[in-house]
Amino acid sequence: MEDHLKGLNDKQKEAATHTEGPLLIVAGAGAGKTKTITHRILNLIKNGVAPEKILAVTFTNKAAKEMRERIVSEIKKHTKGQDTIPFVSTFHSLGVYIIKENAHILGLTRHFTILDEGDSTTLIKEALKELGLDPKQNDPKKIKNIISREKGKFTHLKDYEERVSLSFGEGGEGSFKKIVAQVWNIYEKKKAKENSLDFDDLLLKTTKLLTENKEIRKFYQEKWDYIHVDEYQDTNEVQYLMTKLLSENNKNICVVGDADQNIYSWRGANLKNILNFEKDYPNTKIIILEENYRSTQNILEAANEIIKKNIYRPDKNLFTKNKIGEKIGLYEALDETDEADFVATKILELQDRITDATLIGSLSPRARGALPLGSSAYETPSQSTSVILSDIAILYRANFQSRILEEALLRYNIPYQVLGVKFFERKEIKDTLAYLRAALNPESLSDIKRIINFPTRGIGKVTLAKIFAGERESLPTKVKIKIDNFYKILEEIKEKTQNEKASDVIKFAVKKSGIETELLAGGEEDIERLENIKELATLALKYDNLKDGLGIEKLLEDASLASDQDSMMITENKKTETNAVKLMTVHASKGLEFKHVFITGLEDGLFPHQRNEEIKNAEDKEEERRLFYVALTRAREKLFLSFANFRTIFGSKQINAPSEFISDIPNNILEKEGEKGGIKTIYI
C-alpha cells in the first residue's frame, strides 16, 4: 500500500483512490469522513493534480479550518516542495470570494458590507415603517425568514412579485405575501444604497452570476477541476445549483454526506439533493462508510435501532471494533428542576468532586439517591478515574431548557459554556467592527448609524437624516464640524488598514474613536467590555501576515460569517474556565463529539418536538428521529437520557409522557439511574 493511504480501511481507501467522475460517499456518523476527503485530495495531488485546481466546500468555518489544517499537514508529510494548497472554504466564503472578484459586474465595491441578522432585521423594520406599516403587527423577523427561505430556493424578487400578483383577495395569506413583496423591494434598494449584502445574497448572487454569465462560469469551471462538497445532505437549492454549475464541465464532483443526519429542512436543506445524486450525475460511484471509530457498540446499537424506522434513507448500519461499553443511563425525573439536579450531580460524580463530604451534604435527598453506593465513604479521587469537564456535553431540543440547567450548574459550582452565545454579537465588538466596516465602506448607513453617536457626539436624528439625504453642507457650522471630525476618524482608520497590521488597526480604531476613553470612564461592566475588545485585537493577530489591507478585510469577512460553533463563548459565570461543561441544542451539536453526553427533555411533544399549530407530515417526523440519531452519535463512551414527568412551559405545568424514542432503544442496553442509592420514587 502507498504510504499516503496507510491507516484507511478498505472503503475509505476505495473512496480516496477514486479520481474521475462523480462520487457519492455516504458516511455514517463517526466514520472518518474528513479523513477520507483529506486523503482523497492528497491522492489527487500525489497523482499530479495541482493543489490550486482542487476545491473543497463545507458549512462552518470550524469544519473548513479542520479540513484545511489536515490537508496542509498531509501535503507537508507526503510531498516535497509543494507550496500551494487547495481552496478550502465554507459556501458563504466561496460566495464572498467570487463576488469580490466580480464586484463591479454586480454594482458593488470590493469592500461591500455583509449584514448580520440584526442589521437585516433593522432594514426590514425601516422598510415596514416607510410603507406605513406597524412592525409590531408585521413581524420583521418573520418577513426576513420568508425572504431568506425564498432566496435559498433560488427565488429572486421579481419571481416572488410575479407569484404574489397571482394571489387573490385582500385578506389572509395573499395580503401578507404582498406586504412581504413590498418590503423585499425596499429592502433590496436599501442594501444597494449601502453597498451591502445579506448572508443569503452571498449564495444567491454568486449562483445567479454563474448561471447568467457564461464567461465567468467557464472561468471558475476551469479554475477548479475537482470539487468536493462536505455535508451534502444539508445543501439547499441555491447551494445545489452552485456546485452543479461549477462541476458541469467534467463532472469531477465528490460529495460526502449522510441522509440520516439531515436536520436542517427548516432552513432550506433539501434531503432530495443527496437521495437523487446519482440521477443528477449518471455513472456515479457510491461508497458507504459504515465503520464507526467514535462510539461504543451499545451507543451504536441504540442509534441503529432509532434510525432504521425512517423510510427516506439509503440502507446503512453502523458498526465498530470499539468496546461494548457501558449501558445507556435513563433517568425519570419528577420535574425539570429534579432533572437538572440529576445532571449536575452526575457530572460531579464523574468529576470525582462528589466525594467531598460538605458537597454531598448540600445535595437534595433525591439527588443523593441518584449517587452510586459508596459515595458516602468519601473515597479519594485516586481511587477512581476522573473526567475532564470539557469532555461532557448537555444537549436539549429547545433553547428555553438551558435556563434551569444553568441554574443547577451554578448552584453546584460547575463551570460551563453555552454554545450559541456569539462573541461577535456582543455590543462592544459590533461597535468596533462597525468602525472598521464604515472606514472601508462609508456607504454603509447601518454602520454609520450605529457608531456616529458612540461615543456620544451630540448628533440627533434630524442631523442624521440630513447626512443620509446628502445634505451635510446645510448643517449648522458647529454640527458640521462634529460630522467632519467623525468622517476624518474613519478616513484615518482606513489609511491605517492599508499600512498597518490588523491587530494594530483595531488598537488604533478603539483609541481614535474614543471607545477606549468612554469605557475606561465607566464601571466594572464597561471595563469588561474593553477586555472583550482587547480579545478582538488578540484574535486579529492571526491576520497580521496579510498585507495591503487584506488582514482587516479577512477579519471582517470571518466575523460576519462566524457560526455558533465558531464563536463559542463563556457565559456570565465568573468562575468558568476553558475546562467547562458544554450546553447546546442538538442542532448546534452536529459535527461535535464528547466522551459523555446528557440528552435531556425526552418527552412527547418536546423531543420529538411538536408545536400546537403544526401538523407534521411523515418527512417532518423523520427529521425529529434524525435529530435524536445525531444526538446519540455525539457520544463516545457514555450516554445519559432523561425526561421529566412534569415540566413548566410558558408558566403552565404540564404532565408529560416519555418520548417514543426511549421505547425504541432495546431494554438490554438501558439501565435506570437514581435507584442505586436506596431511594425509589413512585409517581402517581
Q: Which residues are annotated as a binding site for ATP?
A: 27-34
Could you write out the DSSP letters of every residue in 347-384?
HHHHHTGGG-HHHHHHS-HHHHHTSPTTGGG---GGGS
CB 16 within 8 A of CB 40: yes
Q: What is the DSSP letter of 233?
A: G
Chain-centroid distance of CA 51 in Å reads 28
d(CA 348, CA 372): 12
Q: Which positions ≥6 away from 651 have C-beta within 8 Å?
A: none
Residue 611 designated active-site: no
Helices (H), 540-652: 550-561, 586-589, 618-632
Is 230 annotated as catalytic? yes
In 3D space, the residue among 350, 342, 225, 261 whose CA is nearest the CA of residue 59 turns out to be 261
Which of 90, 207, 261, 497 is an active site residue? 261
Distances from the Cα of 115 to the Cαs of 200, 555, 560, 604, in angstroms?
A: 10, 14, 7, 38
Burial code (b: 16+ CB inside 10 Å, e: under 16) for 10-28 equals: ebbbbbbebeeebbbbbbb
610 given a catalytic annotation: no
Q: Is 260 exposed, middle or buried (0-12, 13-18, 19+ CB in 10 A)?
A: buried
- Given 11, 13, 33, 68, the catalytic residue: 33
What is the SS3 string spanning 417-465?
Answer: EEEEEEHHHCHHHHHHHHHHHHHHCCCCHHHHHHHCCCCCCCCCHHHHH
DSSP secondary-structure letter at 415?
-
Please identify which of the residues 426, 634, 636, 638 carries the catalytic annotation. Answer: 634
With cell 485516586, the residue in question is 382
As beta bridge partners, residue 65 has none
If you search the block for the grid coordinates 410558558, which residue do you land on?
650
Angle, helix 91-101 to helix 237-247, in steps of 10 degrees: 60
Contact 276, 635 (CB under 8 A): no
Of 403, 425, 428, which Cα lies nearest the Cα of 121?
425
Cβ partners under 8 Å of residue 240, min gap 6: 270, 273
The binding site consists of 27-34
CA neighbours closer than 13 Å in the CB half-sphere of residue 569: 15
Is residue 456 flagged as an active site residue? Answer: no
Question: Within 10 Å of residue 456's Cβ, how many Cβ atoms?
Answer: 8
Amino acid at residue number 179: I
Q: Which of 116, 126, 150, 231 is catalytic?
A: 231
Which among 89, 114, 265, 88 has a CA at the least distance from the CA of 202? 114
Distance of alpha carbon 116 from alpha carbon 201, whole angstroms:
12
Do residues 346 and 370 touch, judged by C-beta distance below 8 A?
yes
> Is 231 a residue of the active site?
yes
* Given 230, 234, 428, 553, the catalytic residue: 230
407 is catalytic: no
Give the largest CA-CA distance in the chain.
82
- Catalytic center residues: 33-34, 230-231, 261, 634
